[in-house]
Each structure stands twice: as structure tokens, then as C-alpha cells.
Amino acid sequence: MIPLMIPIVMANVDITAVNLALAHIARDLDVSLSVVQWVANGYMMTAGTFLILGGRLGDAWGKRRVLIGGVLLFTAGSAAAGASTVGWALIASRMFQGVGFLIMPLSLSLVHDIFPKNKKTLAMGVTSAVIGLSISAGPTVGGFIIHTLDWHWVFWINLPLGLLTVVTAYLFLPETPARPAIKFDLGGQTLLALGLFALIAGLNAVADQQGSPLSMVGLSGAGLLFFILLIFHEKRASEPMMDPELLTNRAFVWASTARLAMQFSYMGFLFLICLFMQNIVFLSPVRSGILLLWITLTMAALSPLSGALMDKIGVRIPMVTAFFMAAAGYAGISTIGISARMEILIPCFLSIGVAYSVLMPGCNEAALGAVPKEKTGVASGMLYTLVFAGSAIAIAASGLVLHLRSSHALSMQLAHRSIGLTDQQLGLLTRAATGLEHGFADPSFNFCKSLPILETIAQQSFLTGFATCMYGFALICTAGACVAWLISEPQKKVHPANAGTGS
């Protein structure tokens, strides 16, 4: 089990730990909000792009061989990310890591394949436990590493884990039969990659100081065009990457849409809350990680119980209720001020954790339960491609809204108070207002009499954009509740050992 469980731990811990590290990366490398977004969503984008291809490669070449290759890619990307000293190198390394994310579904698939029937349930139980523990431990482990060492070690910790996985997989894992006759839909894969890259680049463009609304419209339009071409291509491809019949399966589409609403709101929230806790409230990485446990530990602990409940009463009512709970949590968080009162924050975190402990297994069961048994594999691949694509788009969109609303609020407050600043001071103030700067240690502020006022203005400007995003997530979850009401109860129960990836 060791070579199968370590990749799951690596993949799950990495997501939360890197989000906690973003504030430190922004300050250490002195990069823009656009770069910080790319660090997070570049990984998600490539993971979603190559997820289905990774599954097909495992079937064609043998799953053990492809798992070892994926671990080597993930580990090499981690090593390069930890050694990065400039933003573009870190982004490229993270994308490389994302290609190696195929280790996650391959690990789950191998657990199912290699254990005999009388031990399969035990193996899946152990896998689910590891998934839950790695999700809940991620914030604490990440916060501890950042606090005691630095953000580079969030990536470098994967090196010994990756080496151990490769050695034990080579020694102890049996190879699954290869099926070289399997064909690959390289055209569909290319269109998916181009569409995601263009759409995310368009959303990120405005958050870059050199970007413009015109570049956002052009790139985003190109992304949508690539997606339209992808749909036409898949209908005509002899071996399509995605099954066109599933796109006409109403129950599958509604369940997948609900999963997208859940994923979009959660990953956008996770991106913003980590910036808020460390650069606006000035919490340490360790304390920020401990606070996130109210969400992740709740999700890990309650997901099995939620699954058992939905086996008895169905998925629709629990999912509708859960979406409204998540919406209430985001609406509550939108009201917290600079003091970040724990009597508001913790109940909201708990509400979100309980909601997603229902939504994660519920959406997956509703989606996979809506398709024939022989198509659950391709349906799962399509669902998780949507999950990671939605995560990447959520981070880009959240950063765009934060940048626009916070920058506008900052301009209005400076004009109202008639405060004059140099270009250097205004640049630093804008970084603080978008959650990228921790205080005002820059020498250019040494003789600025308005420093206390500027700190308050920056924090209030960030909160304006932050609250707008939280309202948006609450509305998305409300829409998710409406979609969940349309979901048909699955004719059969499917329990993927997925709870994972914070995703």
C-alpha cells in the first residue's frame, strides 16, 4: 500500500500547503497578483488537461509504469518549484507538477485493480482513511513547514516522498497488463489545453499591471472558441477523449454542474482566505493552517457519515441543504472586518466544512450513478477534468474580481482623502490592497505622516474586493442548490474512493 498511498498524500497536502504559501511567495519574489494566480491555477489547469490522457496512458502502457513516470514528473516539478527565484520559473514548475498529478487517479485505480476481491473493501477503507487524514493534515503540515523553514520546503518535502514511492513501486507493485491498441485523442487534448490556457490567461491579464480589458476579452474569447471547436471535434472523433453521449445525459450534466459550482466556490474561497489571514489579519502560517482545520477536518470526518445518510434518503435533499449551508457560510464571512472575529469566522468555517462533506460524495454519486456501469471510468475522468478546470478558472476569476474591486476602492479612498503618493508608494499600497503585501516595511514610507491611515485604507480596500467575492460564492452556491434540486436520484449507488484532493 505504501507506493499507492504516498502519492495521494503528496497530491492532497500540496494543494492546501501551496495556498498557504502564496502570501510568502508574493512578498519574497515581489510578483504581481497575476503571477500568484498562475502559481495556483497553472497547476490546476495542467492537472485537469492531462487527467484523462493519464488514465489512457495507464491502460495502454501499464499503470505501474505510468504511475512511476507521473511520480518522477511530480517530484521533478516540486524540486524546480522549490528552487525557483523568479515568478515565471515557479509557474512553469507548477505546470510541470500538474502534468504529474495523474498519480492521484492512477493510485486509486491500482488499489482497485491489484487487491483480491476478499481484500478490496479493506483496501478501499484504508485508502479513504488516508485521503481524509491527508486532507485534514494539509493545512497544519503546510503551515508548520512555512513557519519553521520557508515556502521553498513546501515543494522540497516531495523529493524524499517521491523517491520512496518510486523505489517501493518498482519493488512491490505488480504491473497491470498493457493494451497498446488503445488510441489517443490528441486533437481533443490539444483543444482542451489551448482553451483552458487562453481563458485563464484572459482572466489573469487584468490582474497584471500590464494587462488590459482588451487582452482579457481577446484571450477569453479565444478560449471559448477552442471549447466550441472541442465539442465539434469530440462528436466526430473515432476515439473521443470525452464521451459525447454523456454530454446529452441530463442527470450526469446536472450533477456535474453542481460539482462545478461546489468546486468553483471552494477553490476561489481557499485562494482568497489564505491571503486574507496572512497579509490582512497578519496571522502566522501555523495559525492560518489550524483555522483551516475547522473546514478540512470537518469534511474528512463527516464525509463517510454523509455518504451513508445519502444511501438511505437519497442525494437531492441533503445536497440542496448543503448548498444553502455553504452559501450562508460565505455570506457570513463577507461581514468580517479587519479584526476577523473568531465568533463569526469559526461557525462559518464549520458551516462550509459540513456542507462540503455532503456535496463532495453527493455530487460524485449522483454523476456516476447516472451512467451505465461500463462508462463510469470515462465519466469519472470527465468529472475530474471539469473539477480541475473549474478550480483553475475559479482562482483566475476570484483574483480578477478582487483586483478590480479593491483597486477601485483604493482609488476612491485616496481621492476622498486627498493623499498624494509617489509611484513607488502607490505600487506598494496597491499590492497591500490586493493581499500581496504584509504591512509597510518599505523605506519609501519612513517619512510618510499618513502611514497609519494608509494601512487602514489598504485593508479596507482589500475587504471590499474580498466581500464581493464572498457574495459571489454565496450566489453560486444558491444557484447550485437550484441545480441540485433538478438532479434525479441515482438508480445505483457508486462509491468512488475520491473524497480527495480538496477537489
Q: How many domains does the chain have?
A: 3
202 and 251 housed in the same domain: no
Round to whole Å and give the CA distance between 104 and 100. 9
Round to whole Å and give the CA distance between 343 and 157. 35
Please say if the pLDDT value at position 210 is more than 60.
Answer: no
At 498, the pLDDT band (50, 70, 90 cuts) reads: very low
User: Which alpha helices (DSSP H) does 276-314 contain, by range?
Assistant: 285-313
Round to whole Å and give the CA distance between 133 and 293. 11
Please say if the pLDDT value at position 337 is more than 80.
Answer: no
| Residue 404 maps to a domain | yes
Query: Which grid cell is 435?
Result: 493581499
At 496, the pLDDT band (50, 70, 90 cuts) reads: very low
270 and 360 housed in the same domain: yes
Residue among 38, 9, 41, 14 at smallest CA distance from 391: 41
At 352, the pLDDT band (50, 70, 90 cuts) reads: very high
125 and 108 housed in the same domain: yes
- Helices 250-275 and 33-61 pack at an angle, to 10 degrees, of 140
351 and 480 housed in the same domain: yes
**Domain, as residue range, for 229:** 185-238
266 and 131 housed in the same domain: no
Q: Range with the lowest mean pLDDT among 20-34, 280-294, 322-336, 419-433?
A: 419-433
368 and 259 housed in the same domain: yes
32 and 144 housed in the same domain: yes
**pLDDT value at position 423?**
73
447 and 363 housed in the same domain: yes
Q: Terminus-to-terminus CA distance in the chain, angstroms?
A: 23
**pLDDT value at position 188?**
87
Cβ atoms of 465 and 54 within 8 Å: the answer is no
Total-model pTM: 0.84
For 5-25, what is the mean pLDDT? 85
Cβ atoms of 323 and 359 within 8 Å: the answer is yes
Round to whole Å and give the CA distance between 194 and 455. 41
Using a pLDDT cut of 90, give the percent of the chain over it: 27
Domain boundary residue, one of 238, 259, 277: 238
| Residue 350 maps to a domain | yes
Using a pLDDT cut of 70, give the percent of the chain over it: 89
Residues constituting the chain: 503
Query: Which grid cell is 345?
Result: 469566522
215 and 303 housed in the same domain: no
Say which amino acid occupies 259: R
Rg of the chain over all Cα atoms, to the nearest angstrom: 22
191 and 110 housed in the same domain: no
Domain boundary residue, one of 173, 201, 216: 173
**pLDDT value at position 499?**
45
* Angle in degrees, CA 268, 261, 325, rounded to 5: 85
Number of H helices, E strands in the chain: 17, 0
200 and 254 housed in the same domain: no
pLDDT, tens digit, for every residue of 429-442? 888 888 777 665 55
pLDDT, tens digit, for every residue of 109-144? 777 677 777 776 667 667 766 777 777 777 888 888
Domain boundary residue, one of 130, 153, 173: 173
253 and 131 housed in the same domain: no
**pLDDT value at position 469?**
95
| Residue 179 maps to a domain | no
Query: Which grid cell is 102?
Result: 495523474
Give me the CATH number covering residue 369.
1.20.1250.20
| Residue 178 maps to a domain | no
The 10 Å Cβ neighbour count of residue 166 is: 18
| Residue 297 maps to a domain | yes
